[in-house]
A and B are shown apart, each in its own frame.
Chain A
């Protein structure tokens, strides 16, 4: 199921890419311009994804059979998006702390005290290591 979706996405993506690549001059074989490789690669990708789509329509096999907890997935994505959004606004340390805590709860860590503790200690340590020792300017 998901295999077919992904392959279709590839088809869509490569067709879009190829479309935009038309804006770039192709040049000639003797003097390729910026559109040369994009057009070639885009066409190859469209071709390959078409072939894959056909193969998958014909066969009945599915690739992976592990179950996935889609609710958790959505939560995690929300968490990531949230983290990135507030990172520049409230700074690294608080944002990381909140994010860690959130993730720890998403992964079912029991209780409130442990996650809180872990989140505090770890965000602090990360801050120390990156900002102080490695001199990376964090937001």
Chain B
């Protein structure tokens, strides 16, 4: 009898709390502008799993945050759906400046493929861009192609024979590879892999002939002579001395210029003083020389852009990529998977 009463009590509290929980989330987001922002730790949502490049950048930010922002950052990983989950959470968060997140090119890409709930470029507000990374066209060193022209020639005369590895359908490397294939006319076949590591492993094992990967993954192999890099997709040559000899696709006459970037974003409609404080603080953190060194150790290039410039870049990238995914047929490829 007592047990039943207890359960009844708990059942009632359950119902009440569910109702309360439902009510609070339906309230309009009122923003209380505290004069002294920030006065609590700030949460950074990382839409990727712990240990990924983005995650590490966030943790690097975390390291110097207390000096420049006045409060520590708390990194929370919310992986899933190539970033969709984390971005969704960010869009729904209250724009009081205590929740920010890390953004990447996927912010633009995901809505294009129809897999996102919101249109992120309009639903989120960029605060800063931190770093960027390009894609490198790599081949095994024991292959006969010494430069880009040789491989394009081979590809044209043997259509479908050359396979290139990338990190997932619809991913940055896929876009670069496919655009390259179409612009040069050498008709490469794409093979998706689960990440840079797998792609390079397949390249080294001779299972694919070309790989589009980030520079960090092949730096050591380039130094060691097991891999040869034929081109890079950035607008200018990489600053890393190991890659100084690698020409860009642009200078070889192909208009294939892409780079993948990472930045910090916040939900829209933050009060402007809060936003300004964040932008200034982030700029200070990113300009810190130790931060720069760590980012470069990771294989990325420090590429700071302020809030306005970031937003402009988003618009430009969005336009460009919308066109690209259609032209390369990637959009159709993805749509063809569903009936």
Contact = CB atoms under 8 A, between A and B. Distances in A.
A105 interface: yes
A106 B76 CA distance: 34
Interface string A15-38: 000000011110000000111000
B14 interface: yes
A111 interface: no
Contact of A85 (B17, B24, B338, B339): B17
Given A89-B20, A137-B76, A23 B6 contact: no
Interface in B18-51: 18, 20-21, 24, 43
A102 interface: yes
A86 B18 CA distance: 8
Interface in B107-131: none
A23 B338 contact: yes
B20 A22 contact: no
Contacts of B17: 85-86, 89-90
Contact of B14 (A24, A85, A88): A85
A75 interface: yes
A63 interface: no
A22 B339 contact: yes
Interface string B71-105: 00011100000000000000000000000000000
Contacts of A2: none
Given A86-B17, A89-B21, A78 B337 contact: no
B21 A85 contact: yes
Interface in A94-139: 102, 105, 137
A89 B25 CA distance: 10
Q: Say whether chain B's binding surface is mostly helix, strand, loop, or mixed.
A: helix
Contact of A75 (B7, B20, B43, B338): B7
Contact of A33 (B20, B21, B336): B336
A102 B338 CA distance: 46
A85 B11 contact: no
B298 interface: no
Given A86-B17, A89-B21, A137-B74, A25 B7 contact: no
Interface string B316-339: 000000000000000000001111
Interface in A60-79: 75, 78-79
A89 to B, nearest CB: 5
A24 B7 contact: no
Given A85-B14, A85-B21, A89-B17, A78 B336 contact: no
Given A89-B20, A89-B21, A137-B76, A82 B10 contact: yes
A35 B339 CA distance: 10
Contacts of B10: 78-79, 82, 102
15 contacts: A22-B339, A24-B337, A24-B338, A25-B337, A25-B338, A34-B338, A78-B14, A82-B10, A82-B14, A86-B21, A89-B24, A105-B3, A105-B6, A137-B74, A137-B76
Interface of B: 3, 6-7, 10-11, 13-14, 17-18, 20-21, 24, 43, 74-76, 336-339
Given A89-B17, A89-B24, 20 more contacts: A22-B339, A23-B338, A24-B337, A24-B338, A24-B339, A25-B336, A33-B336, A34-B337, A34-B338, A35-B337, A78-B7, A78-B11, A79-B10, A81-B14, A82-B10, A85-B21, A86-B14, A105-B3, A137-B43, A137-B76
Interface of A: 22-25, 33-35, 75, 78-79, 81-82, 85-86, 88-90, 102, 105, 137
